[in-house]
Structure 1
Amino acid sequence: MTMHDDQVDVTDEIVANLIREQFPQWSGKAIQPLSSTGTVNAIFRIGDDLAARFPLRLADAADALAVLEQEAQASAELAQVSCFPAPEPVALGKPGAGYPMPWSIQTWLPGTIASDADPSGSDAFAEDLAAFIAALRNADTRGRLFSGDNRGGVLADHDDWMAKCFEESKCLLDVPRLRPMWSRFRELPRSGADVMSHGDLIPGNVLVAGDRLGGVLDTGGFGPADPALDLVSAWHLLQPGPREVLRRTLVCDELEWERGKAWAFEQAMGVIWYYVETNPPMSRMGRRTLDRILESTE
């Protein structure tokens, strides 16, 4: 079952043909499709040290290339400032072999994603996560400000989306209980200037090594945003004890902490209903995050 109405099919044969035609130096490497809860790209491992990423949703090729170039630049910038391993861009591929859009190749990072190796009870993992977020916050924005319509700008700008989420969730969630929470969240004022942020610290984008942070994936969204944005990780990834470790280590005041909770609420509400049939693990992640938020307000 596909996740999106406009989803593009990517097969092993297509990937093999693209590699052979455009990057013959890697044509002898084994190609392995990766099962993933990801919703944006199909990912294939190329040999032992590369990963190819193919956008899943159909878009104009020129527009898609502009996005991939921006993501490659952001990934390279994050890798320079991160204190933990992060993938680095290697090459951009062109449409071909039955695939209609540009695609990308980056370095492969070994490890187990947090969806499969739950680090939520580890104080050490929380300390590592705080160190990662702090390193990004300390990176130079070079005068850049948040732009776009994703998470990280003005909470109230997401009112229309949240209205749709509440409507679609009537048979899934206690919507009458949830609406007042958003009414409060959307009014929370900003508490600081934009800082550099990963932007999507969910379990599928975080690698675990033992009970420590082993690396961070999907770094193409690195950019300026609300300082509270990366605090979504507190709710996506941590139980109450380690969550408090994260908060204390980052010295978050009440307003910043609540805004992080608000961004996590907005994200959870969206993935629960949208992926309930097409990507159940992602939907379950949203439910767990929402449950943690609700428990924290009781």
Structure 2
Amino acid sequence: MSYRKVYADQADIDTPLVRELVAAQFPQWAALPLEPIDSGGLVNAIFRLGSDLSVRLPLRPSINGIVHREQAKLATLAPFLPVTIPSVEAIGTPTDAYPGEWSVHGWLAGTHPSPDALVDPRGLATDLAAFIQAFRQIDLPDRPPAYLGERRTRSPMVSMDSPTRDAIHELDGLIDTRAALASWEESLAAPYDGREVWVHSDLTPSNLLVSAAGRLTAVLDFETCGVGDPACDLFPVWYLLPPTVHNDFRATLNVDDATWLRGRGRVLSQALIVLQHFNDTNPALANYAQHAVDKVLTTSQACSS
């Protein structure tokens, strides 16, 4: 299997390449079974190595220290969090065949939750709220900003306005563009007092793992975590959780009306842009995004009626 092309400058990554890299740089794992995992992600190609490890190769190879920074970040955050997060077991070096750093992680058990098949929605909401609360309480001297490209102002969502409107325009015929624009403008107008906390900032179903009983077992992908608007971690409300648990989830996290609106807008913006760019090339991701857009527009219309 070769990973589907998502970007024009994406590396050619397949099982023989990964086997070659592992054998050359980590011979102690060379004999372990290796299989590709179709994660639907936009950042890494993932392969399972034996029963206890995984290999991650950025789709766009880089040698600028991203993997080493990730290793340090994960090791620093892990003691503060109530569920398992990834651990970097080894870092591979660039080669002619793959000109970037790559990593070997511990394998994390569980499955990605589906909004249409939650076994224990209330329990999962409780677990997610506990994770977010624990993240908010982290106090470390290094405070990298979440979403490095976002301007840190009293209205940080302004930087999202132009791409969101572009996506709405291009999705005409696929979504209710009038409702999407009205919802986005309501969220964009929500005030922000500038308070910042540690946030994961991408708590979508593809970054969560749950047990057979439906409880949260692990959280993945800390690439964009850092300090930012608390609204950044309300993604599960519209990506995953049913309306029956929204009030309890909101109350546990003490979310005021403005933060709720900003969270809804952030979800809408991200999901629209995913649909705009990946509706035809990444069906798993597009399905999650379509669900989130539908959920946002349904709740927006209910609030305005």
SS in 2 for 1:215: strand
Aligned to 2:241: 238
Asked if 2 retains the 8 angstrom alpha-carbon contact of 1:156 and 1:187, the reply is no
Which residue of the other structure, out of 55, 58, 61, is the alignment partner of 1:55?
Answer: 58
SS in 1 for 2:125: helix
CA distance, structure 2, for counterparts of residue 198 and residue 279 of structure 1: 23
CA distance, structure 1, for counterparts of residue 262 and residue 13 of structure 2: 38
Aligned to 2:180: 178
| Partner deviation per Cα, 1:240-289 (whole Å, 9 max, x = no partner) | 01222211211211111111111111111111121111001111111111
Matches within 5 A, 1:207-286: 207-209=209-211, 210-286=213-289
| Partner deviation per Cα, 1:84-104 (whole Å, 9 max, x = no partner) | 111111121112261121111
CA distance, structure 2, for counterparts of residue 183 and residue 239 of structure 1: 24
- Percent identical: 34
Aligned to 1:202: 204
SS in 2 for 1:113: coil
CA distance, structure 2, for counterparts of residue 274 and residue 96 of structure 1: 31
Residue 116 of structure 1 and its aligned partner are, at CA, apart by: 8.8
Matches within 5 A, 1:94-173: 94-96=93-95, 98-115=97-114, 118-119=117-118, 122-142=121-141, 144=143, 146=145, 148-149=148-149, 154-173=156-175
List structure 1 segments (4+ residues) > 4 angstroms apart after TM superposition.
150-153
SS in 2 for 1:265: helix
Residue 151 of structure 1 and its aligned partner are, at CA, apart by: 9.7
Residue 15 of structure 1 and its aligned partner are, at CA, apart by: 0.5
Asked if 2 retains the 8 angstrom alpha-carbon contact of 1:32 and 1:45, the reply is yes
Asked if 2 retains the 8 angstrom alpha-carbon contact of 1:235 and 1:243, the reply is no
Report the AA paired with residue 164 of structure 2.
M
Greater mean alpha carbon deviation, residues 34-43 or residues 95-104 = 95-104
Residue 50 of structure 1 and its aligned partner are, at CA, apart by: 1.2
CA distance, structure 2, for counterparts of residue 213 and residue 192 of structure 1: 30
Residue 40 of structure 1 and its aligned partner are, at CA, apart by: 0.9
Instruction: In structure 1, list runs of 5 or more residues that go unmatched.
Output: none
Q: Which protein, 1 or 2, shows the higher relative CO under an 8 Å CA cutoff with sep ≥ 6? A: 1
CA distance, structure 1, for counterparts of residue 162 and residue 206 of structure 2: 27
| Partner deviation per Cα, 1:131-154 (whole Å, 9 max, x = no partner) | 000000000142625261159971
Aligned to 1:294: 297
Greater mean alpha carbon deviation, residues 188-197 or residues 205-214 = 188-197
Report the AA paired with residue 80 of structure 1.
P
SS in 1 for 2:105: strand
CA distance, structure 2, for counterparts of residue 137 and residue 68 of structure 1: 24
SS in 2 for 1:172: coil
Asked if 1 retains the 8 angstrom alpha-carbon contact of 2:115 and 2:241, the reply is no
CA distance, structure 1, for counterparts of residue 249 and residue 263 of structure 2: 12
Greater mean alpha carbon deviation, residues 237-246 or residues 89-98 = 89-98
SS in 1 for 2:201: coil
CA distance, structure 2, for counterparts of residue 156 and residue 100 of structure 1: 36
Which residue of the other structure, out of 14, 27, 41, is the alignment partner of 1:24?
Answer: 27
Asked if 2 retains the 8 angstrom alpha-carbon contact of 1:53 and 1:104, the reply is yes
Asked if 2 retains the 8 angstrom alpha-carbon contact of 1:90 and 1:107, the reply is yes
Instruction: Provide the aligned C-alpha RMSD in A.
Output: 2.1
Asked if 2 retains the 8 angstrom alpha-carbon contact of 1:168 and 1:273, the reply is yes
Aligned to 2:74: 75
Residue 217 of structure 1 and its aligned partner are, at CA, apart by: 1.2
Residue 121 of structure 1 and its aligned partner are, at CA, apart by: 6.0
Instruction: In structure 2, list runs of 5 or more residues that go unmatched.
Output: none
Report the AA paired with residue 279 of structure 1.
N
Asked if 1 retains the 8 angstrom alpha-carbon contact of 2:237 and 2:246, the reply is yes
* TM-score when normalising by structure 1: 0.91
Indicate whether 1:87 and 2:86 are aligned: yes
CA distance, structure 1, for counterparts of residue 142 and residue 57 of structure 2: 31
